[in-house]
Structure 1
Amino acid sequence: MLRNYFRIAWRNLVKNKVYSAINMTGLGIGMAGAIIIFQLVSYHLGVDKHHQHADKIFRMVVDLHLEDGSVEHERGSAFPLHTTLRKEFANVAHAAYLADRELTVSIEQPNNTKRFFEKLSAAFTDSEFFKIFDYQFVAGNAAVLNLPNQAVITERYARKYFGKSNPMGHLIRLNNVENVSVAGVIKDFPEQTDFKKDVFVSLPTLKKLVPEYGYEDWGWIDSNRETFISLRSAEDKDALEKQMIGFAKKIHGADSNVFHYHLQPLSDIHFNISYGGKIKYYTIVMLATVGLLLILIACFNFINISTAQSFKRSKEVGIRKVLGVSQLQVFWLFIHEAALFSIISFVFSIILSKILIPMISNWLEVNLDVNLFADYSLLAFSVLLLFFVVCVAGIYPALIISNLNPVRAIKGLSAENERGSFSVRKGLVVAQFSISFVLIAVSMVIILQSRYLKNKDLGLNKDLILHVALPETETAKITALSNEIPRIKEVSSISFFRNPPSSQAGNGGSIKFENRDWEKFVARSRVADNHYVATYGLKLIAGRNPTQSDTLSELLVNSKLVKALGLKSPEEALNKRLVVGDMDNKSGVIVGVLSDFNNADLYSNIEPTIIYASKRHYRSAGIKLQNLSASTIPDIMKVWQKQFPEYVFQYSFYDEEIAGFYKREELASNLTSMFSLLSVFLSCLGLFGLALFSIEQRTKEIGIRKVLGASIAGITTLLSMDFLRLVVLAIIIASPVSYYFMNKWLQDFAYRIDIEWWIFALSAVLAILIAFLTVGYHSVKAALANPVKTLR
């Protein structure tokens, strides 16, 4: 019996090639989209779940409650915190400090020295880190990280630094200052982790490499230096957080109301954007929802076309019933037919997924793959997906067809042939285009917001500015660079600084204006020389540019700070003294006021900002170019390497750095655009099949109308309007839903586009136009047909 069912299903598939192709293509694309989204979602949900005691691991974060009512979320913490937690809290099993730092790594070889610039892959820590997180040691052990001048590296970095030779005991030189010995090798980290570190240097070495860091200062919080703990029991979290209230009072005294310590679960680190997460839970939910919607659209197509075709097969069903075939047997016949379609479509979806997944992996900078036999979770999902599709796409058409009255079926009088009522089929078309309209409108907003972020005037010049790392701040070397680099014909100016004007670095602190008390707000700081304003095109609205200085003496402030101080005009701030808490309470005189510029990314509002000189804090050079030729960067590198021959030359363009602030939005734009196109294509595919079937049923009607004088335009409009009405209804239903999701997504931005009426209008026009072109093709073809042939 089963074999017979599949044989009949195969014959029907071959007989109706066009409809079969539409059904299988739609189901295949829908399942491919669902499989890709499942891999994306499972990747993000699986980040750092491989650690054995993941539920007991937390990061200590600090919320800074400022007097002006604002709250700053800091993922970093003060250096003394980790040792204090170990000593004073019994429910803390282990506590570790992880300090990221850019390093130039030099490897001495017999004939030459190999140098590597490690921007994101190096960190300082001690043995406690490896008691919290699961790493497998191939050689050595974590205890060496409690000793100065020791390092542990991954296997891939062992190959990178030393080739095939044994790395144990080899020396590597850091920043041309300290030698450390490779005392341990660990297995490479898994793909699904946010801790992508390949070089772990012992924590005591950090004190030798960076002696000026505030190792005993509880107020010195750096976002790149984090404290992780593991608790003896996951249930101890709430108790420890309550203890941290008293701890803050003990450590910070009168300022304890500012410092609020919290335990952030390991499972939240990847998703919490406030503390530097990679992706929001909301985005994961949206992706999963889109995957489900794609499958539903594909199933709706199958249901629509299958039920529409039931009229063609009504006589077959009627004869089967007259000959004694039961209703249940007819039902199972069509279920098996749906299963055959689904299996073939599934094979197509796997092939399509394998083609698309490398491109998406490249977009998202993750390593995704589609391998059913190596990934058991994907295999389980695929089986459930196939079962879901067979049930959703197959049961309703099978019920409709198996319930046909045999007498009416043989006479060709099935209910599916009657037009005029709002059938389930029409409802499914409305649902399809509602989903498509929502995705079109939301993707349009995401694209417009992404473009707005890229092109918004930040109040500064970001074009043709080259950033070059500055490994040392020796006066003679900085002077040499400032004299020689501007001699390169394409260079117009050079400035030395800690951070550029728009930066995601959150340096800043309290300030004190004249004889007033400390202000309630925090001022952001930009440590830079007197060429900063000219290089970045900042606009002075009062006063003058500071004179050359190596230390804090003269200050620039922005208009936002002047307003925050309650001054009536920029001129009132000039020649007034300002104490800067971020610089050990040193003071300087305000000599100029700048027009406001965006000092952070566009998620945040413009904040009060001060600019002052401090040569020892300079970390980069900004080089303004008049134009860029093939020799520009090599010429700059030649001058730079003359001063820093033992370091690796690193550069980036400022406009690319700023674009990197909004990588999440760029990825969201790409993903939503792709899945919107898929949903529109699937909806049109279903509409294409329904229009073809509908016009086939009205062939003689069209011929009679043409004989009676109906025009081609009139017939085309008549045939198209039935479907276009459904699309218009879908737009009306979907518009408020679209507005909700648009507004929800835009809430994260301090600077954002307005949701204007024309976005809905353009989305509606696109949806209607796409639907009209889909249906219009068949309509025009039918209207142009020779009425003599159609009537015959």
Structure 2
Amino acid sequence: MSAEKHPPKWALRLLEFFLRPDYADEIQGDITEAYYWRMEEESRFKAHFKFILEVLKSLKPTNLKSFYHLSLNTMIFRNYLKVAFRSLLKRKSTSFINIFGLSVGVAAFIFIFLYTNQILTFDDYHENKNRIFMVYKERITPDGTQETYDTWVPMKDRLTESYEQIEAAARIYDSEARIKKSNQYIEEDIIYTDASLFEVFTFPLLHGNPKDVFPNKNSIVLSVEMAKKYFDKENAIDEELEIFLPDEDTTFRFRVSAVIAEIPENLTHQPDLMIEMEALPFYGDFANEWGNSFLDTYIMLKNGGDEAQLESAFPELVESIFGMETRENTNFKLLPMADFYDTFIGNKANARTLLWIGIGILFIAIVNFMNLSTAQASKRAKEIGLRKVLGAFQGQLRTQFITEAFVMSLFATIIGVGLVLLLIPSFNAFFDVTITLEVFSLSEIIMMILALAIVLGLLSGSYPAFYLSSIGAIEVLRQRLGFGGTKFRNALVIVQFSIALFLIACTLIVRNQINFMTQKEMGFDSEGLMAIRASPSDFTDSEVGMNKINTFKTELASKPYVKEITKSRHVPTFWSRSFTFVRPDEWTGDPLRMRFTFLDANFFDTYGIAIKHGSNFLPDTEGDQRLSVILNEAAIKAFQFDPNEQNVVRVGETRLNVVGVVEDFHFETLQNEVAPTLMLHRTAESGAHRNISIKMDMSNLVERIEEIEAMWNDLGSTREFTYSFMDDRMQILYEDEERYLGMVTMFSVISIVVACLGLYGLTLFIIEKKRKEISIRKVLGAEVSTVLKLIFGEFTKWVAIAFIISVPIAIYFADDWLQSYYYRIDISWLTFGLALVIVLALVILTVGYQSLKAASANPVKYLKDE
């Protein structure tokens, strides 16, 4: 027969490829026979056409391989699911322990992930994050290297003009404003910036022209939250705001030119009110001035720009601005945006540690599942052996056990997500954070639930599946089934104990460090000390305001419950940008950049700060003592002064006599060393002060605060009555550390509870396996204590090995964490001893009851069948 009389080969191959094997021969034979008949009776064209048509008709779903296998696999999978559910119901206690442990582990992990994700993805919202840098300066002084982040007004333009690799640059100057609304002043943060800020950072506009955000100097850009707050609508374009600017002592009217869309909370800058930089009233005085630095400068490099290459060119820029001498001791540096959080806000290392704790909790829950599943092997031995005798393959058995693990993981994940949804408000309130699941869409949450359930199912079910499916039918029939992966299971228990010991030890160390900081003397007496914000700039007329504040101070001093009163620019625990360059009178080297503050003569008495050498300032009635200065001990050390001699320092060309030296006291947290500080005298009439501090009798506190508030309100200030007690401020200093400790403690407790839960389940199994041995020992005269030693011996060995493993790891991580604190504790071996005692106590509590019950049981009950 010629080739033309054969059916098309491609159509035959199509049938062979797609049709079910049991249908392919019959279908192919029928349509091929019909083809040859048509070749004889009809034309070749009709035979080919109808053959192809019948081939296509044959490819219906019921005849196809994939649908056949899908149907078969679906049926098998449904069977696996039925067996999985029956297995869960049959072993209720084990199932509860596994599901509860996994669900708690999942919930804890999700809480930690949501919190740490906010920190670890800080500033990721900005599209050009990897190309954004903050320009700062590094000064090399005799007292060490000083890094300062404030720069000069002309810095931006000088950089963009000098270096082609800079695509855009912007400046930010943070200030405060009081917005007038319904005859009231509302205090808000405001920033002066450049239109180019929107090129550098990602701040999408909801309304307005992104190419002309500041049409004129009276333009203001609002966040959508501010637009709603002041105008009850999102589109506030062309609306006007009356704003009092305290630094300028002036009220201006600004017209809204743009509204920024809602942005994430985990950004370094959260602009609410933005005014063009050149609208700053004193901008003209500093536009070309390199003597005063007070704003931040940011640059964005072009694609492919090399920050290291740019930094290497900065020394020439320093020389061109300040001269060769300054070039030797001053460097311009670039701070990548990825380092903003660690530099200005917090510590990402703490977030990473919490994330590892979350992974550890999940791991402990997974270990519980693996341990209990392999330990239950003997109870499922007959089932496994029988299925193998009936022809089940290892792959089928593995699939069944993986399916059981997946079902359990899916239940646990859903319950865990439910717990998160239920407890998020309480979590946020307790830790003062704002985590939410709303950052993910519903589809993303469903996908994450499924992905997490699959991963947990595979991790927790893989080893039990491989172990249980490898059990031989003959081993079952001969009753030679072993303990079930004993060595591997023991290793996992040791890992659990290691994690628990590590977490307990680290929690104790963190707690000890925080207690050390909060209880350490700050160098001043904080008891009954109230600080009140009070500045002439709080009034629309600063000269009138200064007189009113002095009157307010006089009235306060006359109150019988006020023991001491003082005015100062700064108060401990709060420091603003106040630095100057200082050198000893005869010092020929470079000056030191040091803190300075203004205070009156009663400051040290009010704060209980001791004068260690020399004397205090003269009484305020003597007037401003502008040529006198008091130093702290850190400044004396930096200048290498002999405190018992008459010392003189220079600020610019002004000579200041050091009249006294006070003991070091902390303006900031104990994370930082006490900085050298100059304390300059100013009277109440100078207008240099921003705070009033009073030492007061703390009885009837509510009534007295209300009285002071009423006195303040009578002054007509644009600022609401703002006060704080120094004891509270000192607690706020360590708010982040307290939050971190709280989270570490809570999640450590959760990990230990989950571990103990698994230990409880494992104890039940071990006791069950040793029932006959225990009974025989009791018949032969063994005491209860002997039986308890038999059961506890293995657990004690596991804890001892875990202790040896965990101690060096804990020491490494704890020491690394403590390095970020200048004043820190020493790591004590007592901490690890206490951690060991806690774990042993938990083991005794977890294992003890069931062990005592087993040791006291009647042996006849378990030997009557022998």
TM-score (norm 1): 0.91
Q: Which residue is equivalent to 2:140?
A: 65
Match of 1:684 among 753, 756, 759: 756
Please say if 1:484 is aligned against 2:555: yes
* Deviation, structure 1 residue 702: 2.6
* Deviation, structure 1 residue 522: 4.0
Match of 1:268 among 328, 339, 345: 339
Please say if 1:8 is aligned against 2:8: no
CA distance 1:646–1:352, shift in 2 (3 Å): closer
Q: Which residue is equivalent to 2:500?
A: 436
Counterpart of 2:327, as a letter, is S
Q: Which residue is equivalent to 1:183?
A: 256
Counterpart of 1:403, as a letter, is S
Match of 1:389 among 448, 456, 476: 456
SS at match of 1:90: coil
Match of 1:609 among 665, 673, 677: 677
* Deviation, structure 1 residue 2: 1.0
Counterpart of 1:367, as a letter, is T
Q: Which residue is equivalent to 1:232?
A: 302
SS at match of 1:196: coil
**1:760-779, aligned counterparts within 5 Å?**
760-779=832-851
Q: Which residue is equivalent to 1:131?
A: 199
**1:354-433, aligned counterparts within 5 Å?**
354-362=421-429, 365-370=432-437, 374=441, 379-416=446-483, 423-433=487-497
CA distance in 2, matches of 1:363, 1:76: 36
CA distance in 1, matches of 2:782, 2:659: 83
CA distance 1:278–1:180, shift in 2 (3 Å): farther
CA distance in 2, matches of 1:340, 1:42: 28
* Deviation, structure 1 residue 610: 1.8
Match of 1:198 among 261, 272, 297: 272
User: Could you list the per-position Cα deviations for residues 331-383 of structure 1 after superposition, in whole angstroms to 9, with x for gaps in the alignment?
Assistant: 22211111111111111111122233334434555432236971666555444
* Deviation, structure 1 residue 305: 0.5
CA distance in 2, matches of 1:335, 1:139: 54
Deviates more, 1:395-404 or 1:237-246: 237-246
* Deviation, structure 1 residue 219: 4.5
Q: Which residue is equivalent to 1:17?
A: 92
Q: Which residue is equivalent to 1:249?
A: 319
Paired residues, number: 768
Match of 1:153 among 222, 226, 233: 222
* Deviation, structure 1 residue 517: 3.1
Please say if 1:452 is aligned against 2:516: yes
* Deviation, structure 1 residue 324: 1.8
Please say if 1:660 is aligned against 2:732: yes
Counterpart of 1:488, as a letter, is K
Match of 1:114 among 184, 196, 200: 184
CA distance in 2, matches of 1:379, 1:102: 44
- The answer as to whether partners of 2:529 and 2:726 remain within 8 angstroms in 1 is yes
Q: Which residue is equivalent to 1:754?
A: 826
CA distance 1:144–1:11, shift in 2 (3 Å): closer
Q: Give aligned-pair identity as a percent.
A: 29
Deviates more, 1:753-762 or 1:388-397: 388-397
Match of 1:163 among 232, 248, 256: 232
CA distance in 2, matches of 1:504, 1:444: 31
Q: Which has the larger radius of gyration?
A: 2
User: Could you list the per-position Cα deviations for residues 563-608 of structure 1 after superposition, in whole angstroms to 9, with x for gaps in the alignment?
Assistant: 333344x3214xx432235xxx433222222122224321222232
CA distance in 1, matches of 2:688, 2:677: 17
CA distance 1:377–1:67, shift in 2 (3 Å): farther
SS at match of 2:483: helix
CA distance 1:146–1:544, shift in 2 (3 Å): farther
CA distance 1:318–1:699, shift in 2 (3 Å): same
Gaps of 5+ in 2: 1-75, 537-541
SS at match of 2:280: helix
- The answer as to whether partners of 1:153 and 1:182 remain within 8 angstroms in 2 is no
* Deviation, structure 1 residue 539: 0.5
* Deviation, structure 1 residue 230: 2.2
CA distance 1:34–1:169, shift in 2 (3 Å): closer
CA distance 1:22–1:288, shift in 2 (3 Å): same
CA distance in 2, matches of 1:134, 1:623: 45
* Deviation, structure 1 residue 449: 0.9
* Deviation, structure 1 residue 399: 1.1
**1:454-473, aligned counterparts within 5 Å?**
454-472=518-536
CA distance 1:307–1:144, shift in 2 (3 Å): closer
CA distance 1:644–1:613, shift in 2 (3 Å): farther
CA distance in 1, matches of 2:529, 2:776: 72
CA RMSD, aligned part only? 2.6
- The answer as to whether partners of 2:384 and 2:473 remain within 8 angstroms in 1 is yes
Counterpart of 2:499, as a letter, is I
CA distance 1:443–1:716, shift in 2 (3 Å): same
CA distance 1:177–1:623, shift in 2 (3 Å): farther
Q: Which residue is equivalent to 2:351?
A: 284
CA distance in 1, matches of 2:495, 2:602: 60
* Deviation, structure 1 residue 683: 1.3
CA distance in 1, matches of 2:535, 2:206: 33
- The answer as to whether partners of 1:35 and 1:382 remain within 8 angstroms in 2 is no
CA distance in 2, matches of 1:666, 1:470: 30
CA distance in 2, matches of 1:237, 1:381: 38
- The answer as to whether partners of 2:568 and 2:598 remain within 8 angstroms in 1 is yes
CA distance 1:521–1:371, shift in 2 (3 Å): closer
* Deviation, structure 1 residue 520: 5.5
CA distance 1:203–1:471, shift in 2 (3 Å): farther
CA distance 1:74–1:412, shift in 2 (3 Å): farther
Counterpart of 2:697, as a letter, is Q
CA distance in 2, matches of 1:371, 1:306: 36
* Deviation, structure 1 residue 156: 1.7
- The answer as to whether partners of 2:413 and 2:452 remain within 8 angstroms in 1 is no
- The answer as to whether partners of 1:477 and 1:643 remain within 8 angstroms in 2 is yes
CA distance 1:163–1:490, shift in 2 (3 Å): farther
SS at match of 1:555: strand
CA distance in 2, matches of 1:746, 1:504: 24
- The answer as to whether partners of 2:236 and 2:256 remain within 8 angstroms in 1 is no
TM-score (norm 2): 0.84
SS at match of 1:710: coil
CA distance 1:769–1:746, shift in 2 (3 Å): same
CA distance in 2, matches of 1:542, 1:240: 48
SS at match of 1:638: helix
Counterpart of 1:132, as a letter, is V
* Deviation, structure 1 residue 692: 0.5
* Deviation, structure 1 residue 170: 1.8
Please say if 1:553 is aligned against 2:627: yes
Deviates more, 1:761-770 or 1:27-36: 27-36
- The answer as to whether partners of 1:62 and 1:74 remain within 8 angstroms in 2 is yes
Q: Which residue is equivalent to 1:530?
A: 601
Counterpart of 1:434, as a letter, is S
CA distance in 2, matches of 1:333, 1:448: 49
- The answer as to whether partners of 2:174 and 2:191 remain within 8 angstroms in 1 is yes
SS at match of 1:617: coil
Gaps of 5+ in 1: none
Please say if 1:301 is aligned against 2:371: no
